[in-house]
Amino acid sequence: MKIRLITGILAAVLLAPNIGYAQDSSISQDTTTFESLQEALQQLRDEIDALRQENVAKDNATNVSSPPPPPQPPSPPSPLEVELESLFEELGEELDAAGFHLAIELNQLAESLEFATDSMRLNIRRDVNKAGNALEELEIILENRGTEAPKSPAAVQLPTEPKAPASPEVKTKVRVAAEGAEKDQSDNKRIDGSDRDPSKGQWVGLSYHRILPVHFSGGTTSADLQTGVPAGYEFLETEGGGSWKWELNPFEYRARLVGDYLGVTTGIGFDWTRIQVAEGVRLNWQNDSLTATNTEGLEYKKHRIDATHLRLPILLSYRSDKEREKAFHIEAGAVFGLNILSGYRREYVENDVETAELTPGFQVRPIHLNYRLTVGYGALSFIGEIPVFPFFSGNNTPEMYLPSFGLMLHL
């Protein structure tokens, strides 16, 4: 019996520390531990009661033959009984605390399960309603396109929250939004599949230039630079209204370097240069030299030198705004030109006979290179070009350069 008593006490003492761990475990482990503690405590109480009854029975058997002793005051409890009573009280308090915490956790778990269930139900209702609305919108779009809409399966309707049918106003907004999105995509789509608009430079356009000839007198330094035609070539009337340059640039491409603000522009263009020749002379090339012969008495209708160039620019381009029409812009670089048509033209009347003469080429340089600067705002620019090579080619031709300045209207 003592061994069973000691075993019960040890079981109760060893199981008591597990109460704190049971509070942090799952609900099933908490319940099992709590029931095990109750069973161990009950077994311990039963052992103690059995031990007490056995002691009482032994005392009664011993005192049957002897007269009953006089009543004595109750003896004080033994240390074992005091320790057991203290152990009972501590175990009872631990069990009460464990049961209280277990009840709180069970209530919290029930509340969490109830909240999760309500959330799942609400999400399911919302998803079902969205699916029904999406099917109806799809049917509306297909009907507007003239295509028979596929029959959609019946949407699940929850009895607690029936889905309200979409109003005509909502259907109209959906249809208009879909058509607007399709229109925007088709408008912004480029041929090469890119949605980004090409960047615009300042090359494309039409411009008119005045020619301001310069030449070097005896040297090539800036001190030797003089305006006007060289001495002996005054018959070239470059400063009159009949001498000019027109420029037409139909194509361009601008590569972005820093967004739409900084880029490199190239393209294709044409220019027509005309130099008016004075009346009363006829131009000739002799020994690679340009000479003039007097022709008094002729009535000139046309007397000029023409040159047409195919041009290719390489320009560094800057503008202050993404939109070219609202931006201040600067372009600077070089323009290469190829002489594709040039000549000396004379049309005159002599003795009531009209005569037209054309001398192709006429020593106009086949290739030219100009430095170009463009400054302006929006669709209007001021343009200046300075040539690197003289207008005429040959060793004995006039060293005459034709800088030009003009205005361009960007198309």
Q: Which of 266, 276, 268, 274 is nearest to 248 (CA)?
A: 268
Q: Other CB atoms closer than 10 Å to residue 24's CB: what's the count? A: 10
Tell me how far apart the alpha carbons of residues 118 and 97 are, in angstroms, rounded to a whole number: 32
Tens digits of pLDDT across the chain (411 residues): 444 444 454 444 444 444 444 444 445 555 566 667 667 777 777 877 777 777 767 666 665 544 555 655 666 667 777 777 777 777 777 777 777 777 788 788 878 878 777 888 888 888 888 888 888 888 888 888 765 444 444 444 444 555 555 454 444 444 544 455 444 444 444 444 445 678 888 999 999 999 999 988 765 556 578 888 888 888 888 776 788 999 999 999 999 999 889 999 999 999 999 999 988 899 988 777 888 888 887 888 999 999 999 999 999 999 999 888 889 999 999 999 999 999 999 999 988 889 999 999 888 999 999 999 999 999 999 999 999 999 998 777 778 899 999 999 998
pLDDT of amino acid 72: 58
Q: Give the pLDDT confidence score for residue 202 in this predicted structure.
A: 92
pLDDT digits (tens, 9 = 90+) for 108-148: 887 887 877 788 888 888 888 888 888 888 888 888 876 54
At residue 139, the pLDDT reads 82
N residues, the chain: 411
The structure tokens 């929850």 sit at 158
Q: How confident is the model at residue 75, as a pLDDT?
A: 62
Contact (CB, 8 A) for 389 and 368:
yes
Angle at 138 between CA 133 and CA 142, to 5 degrees: 150
The pLDDT score that the predictor gives to residue 217 is 73
Question: 3-state DSSP call for residue 288?
Answer: coil
Task: Note the pLDDT tens digit of each residue in 329-370.
Answer: 999 999 999 999 999 999 999 888 899 999 998 889 999 999
pTM: 0.52
**Identity of the residue numbered 38:** Q
Residues ≥6 apart with Cβ < 8 Å to 209? 244, 245, 246, 247, 383, 385, 404, 405, 406
Which residue shows structure tokens 């690679």? 288
Show the tokens assigned to 253.
């491409």
How much is the pLDDT for 113? 78
